[in-house]
Structures are given as C-alpha cells and as structure tokens.
Amino acid sequence: MIWLILSIATSSLLYVIFKYFQVFKVNTLHAIIVNYVVACFTGLVAYGSVPTVESIETAAWLPYALILGALFIFMFNMMALTSQRNGLSVAAVASKMSLVIPVIAGIWMYNESLSTLKVIGILLALVSVYLTSVKNKNNLRINKKLLILPLILFLGSGIIDTTIKYAENTHVPDGEEPIFSAMCFAMAFLVGIVLLIREATQKRFLNLRSVLAGLILGVPNYFSIYFLIKTLKAGLESSVVYPINHVGTVLLTSLLGILLFKEKLIPKNYIGILVAIIAIVMIAFAKA
C-alpha cells in the first residue's frame, strides 16, 4: 500500500507544479518536453547504470515503452486542447473517469475479484470525481460540437493505464521498472522534439524559465509512473489500484488547492471529497 500512497502523492504534486506554471507564466508545453528528459535521466539513475543499446532493442517491453511514450505527449496535448475548448473541469472529469477502462480490463483479462462492495465503491469513485472536479454551480458545460475531444481524452487516458498494467504484468521483469519508465519518457521526448521545432517556426522558443520548470517537474513525474508500476507489481488488483489512485489524486489535489492556493470550493466539491473518502474505504476493504 505504501507504493500506492507514494503514487498518489507524486501525482498530486504534478498538479501543484502545473498550478505554479500558471502563476509564473511558464510555457507548459516547453516545460513538459524538458521534463521528459529529466524523467528519463531520473530513471537511469534509479536503474543504477546506463543500459546498452542492444539490451534495450531486445527488451520485451520496448514496444510498450514506445507506445506509452507517444501516448504520454499526445494525451497531454489533448488535455490542453480539451481544457481550452471545453473547460478545465470537463478535461479533469474525462481524464479521471477513464479509470473504468483499466478496471473493466482487469476484471475481464485477469479475472480480478468483483464483489458488491467493490462495484458500489467504483461507482462512488466516479461520482466523487465528477463532484470534486466541477468548479461552478451550473455543472459541466460541454460544447456538443467538440464532444470528440473529451471522448478521445477519456479513451486515451484509459488506454495508457491499461497498457501500463499489461506491460507490467507480462513484459517488465522485477528490477527493470526504472529503465522501462525511463524509456517511456525518452520516447515522449523524441516526439516532443518535433513539437519544439514546430513551436520555433512560430517564434516561440525554449527559454530558461521553461527549462527550470521542466527540471522541477521531471522527478515527480518519473516517480508517479514508477510508483504506480511498483504498486501493480506488489500484487494489488488493478481494479483496486486505479480507482484509489485516481480518486486519491483528485482528493489530495483538492486539499492542496485549499491549503496552498486558498481555492474556494462550492458545496458539491465538499460532498465529492466526502464521497471520495467513502469510495476509497469501500474499494480498499472490498472482498470477493
């Protein structure tokens, strides 16, 4: 359970860092690309050595690292686009509601347990994500013409979580979690280089502020994935891990927003926090 707690803590820290990006007017895309380099090197340090090209080329997990790396940066841009076109709350709900995809995959592919208590807990988890993410009294306002954006974000986020579970379960040996995570971020950086070139053609160049922001973001970003993989390898069912991880992140992020940024919550946000706590307890103690 300690790995899961650490995963929630580092994932929540990412949102706090992103909030400070807004405060200090950091170019988020540039910082994200730099962060992938830092995350990759963090993984190499955690691994304890630099692997040979041959060992990486022959690794069973390499295709999954390539896929995940590309998805990481694609979904980041999709989240930004959804936030801009549909609103931040819509993006948050679409991203976190995606927990249903790895949950269904875990039950279907790995015959994970399914009890009444767990089902109720998962449903409450979805309710809590919605309630804590909505920041106005008029609920979510979705532009029906742009409905495809949150849908892609929902599916993409779920596919990332499901792919991580599948790769961890079938292709990542014990002890290779750091290098697997590092290669995911390395691939994301390679894709990011293309985006940097495009940015440069539009006269938006990488600056020192973005580099420093990327350095700060990279370490917790790496560990958020590393701790998640360690949690899955610890034997906890993915249908337990992902709901608690997603809901716990939303819960902790909301609390940090109150403490650090004096964010004002509406009544349904407080109800969502209470429902989140109940959901976590029910899922954690569910028995088949």
Name the nearest CA neighbour of 33 among 154, 163, 213: 213
- Per-residue pLDDT tens over the stretch 250-263: 889 888 888 888 88
H runs (alpha helix) in 139-266: 148-170, 177-201, 208-233, 238-261
- Per-residue pLDDT tens over the stretch 50-76: 888 888 999 999 999 999 999 998 988
CA distances from 203 to 27, 196, 199, 209, 227 (A): 13, 11, 7, 16, 38
pLDDT of residue 187: 92
Q: What is d(CA 97, CA 111) in angstroms, rounded to the nearest whole number?
A: 22
In the chain, the N- to C-terminal Cα span, in Å, equals 19
Residues 6+ positions from 114 with CB-CB distance below 8 Å: 107, 239, 288
Q: Percentage of residues in the chain with pLDDT exceeding 90? A: 55
What SS3 class is residue 229? Answer: helix
- Per-residue pLDDT tens over the stretch 129-169: 888 887 766 666 666 667 888 899 999 999 999 999 999 99
* Predicted TM-score (pTM) of this structure: 0.88
Q: Are 125 and 240 in contact (CB under 8 A)?
A: no
Q: Domain-by-domain residue ranges, the chain?
A: 2-284
Residues 6+ positions from 230 with CB-CB distance below 8 Å: 3, 7, 177
